[in-house]
Structure 1
Amino acid sequence: MVRSGRRVGGALGITHAVFRSPEDPARFGFIVSKAVGNAVTRNLVRRRLKSIAQRQIVEGCAGIDVVFRMLPASASASYTELEVEAHRALSKIRREAEAS
Structure 2
Amino acid sequence: MTWARHRLRTGDDFRRVTRTGTRSARSHVVVHLALSPERGPEPRVGFVVSKKTGNAVVRNRVARRLREIFRARLARLPDGADVVMRALPGIDQVPFAQLEGEVGSALDSAAAKLARRREARRERPEREDR
- Both proteins in one fold, TM over 0.5: yes
> Which residue of 1 is the match for residue 11 of structure 2?
none
Equivalent pair of 1:36/1:73 in contact (CA under 8 Å): yes
Tell me the CA shift for residue 88 of structure 1.
0.3
> Which residue of 1 is the match for residue 13 of structure 2?
none
Structure showing the higher helix proportion among its residues: 2
For residue 93 of structure 1, the aligned residue among 105, 110, 122 is 110
Count the aligned residue pairs: 99
For residue 35 of structure 2, the aligned residue among 19, 28, 42 is 19
Return closer, same or farther for 1:62/1:98 CA change in 2, 3 Å cut-off: closer
What's the Cα RMSD here?
1.7
SS of residue matched to 2:19: coil
> Which residue of 2 is the match for residue 6 of structure 1?
22
SS of residue matched to 1:11: coil
Moved over 4 A (4+): none
Structure with the greater alpha carbon radius of gyration: 2
- Identity of matched residues, %: 32
> Which residue of 2 is the match for residue 83 of structure 1?
100
For residue 82 of structure 2, the aligned residue among 57, 61, 65 is 65
Tell me the CA shift for residue 50 of structure 1.
0.6
Tell me the CA shift for residue 17 of structure 1.
0.8
Equivalent pair of 2:34/2:114 in contact (CA under 8 Å): no
Equivalent pair of 1:35/1:72 in contact (CA under 8 Å): yes
For residue 51 of structure 1, the aligned residue among 65, 68, 74 is 68
User: How far apart are the structure 1 equivalents of 2:100 and 2:69?
Assistant: 6
Higher relative contact order (CA 8 A, sep 6+): 1
User: How far apart are the structure 2 equivalents of 1:89 and 1:62?
Assistant: 15
Return 5+ residue gaps in structure 2 as ranges. Answer: 1-16, 118-130
Tell me the CA shift for residue 4 of structure 1.
1.9
> Which residue of 1 is the match for residue 7 of structure 2?
none
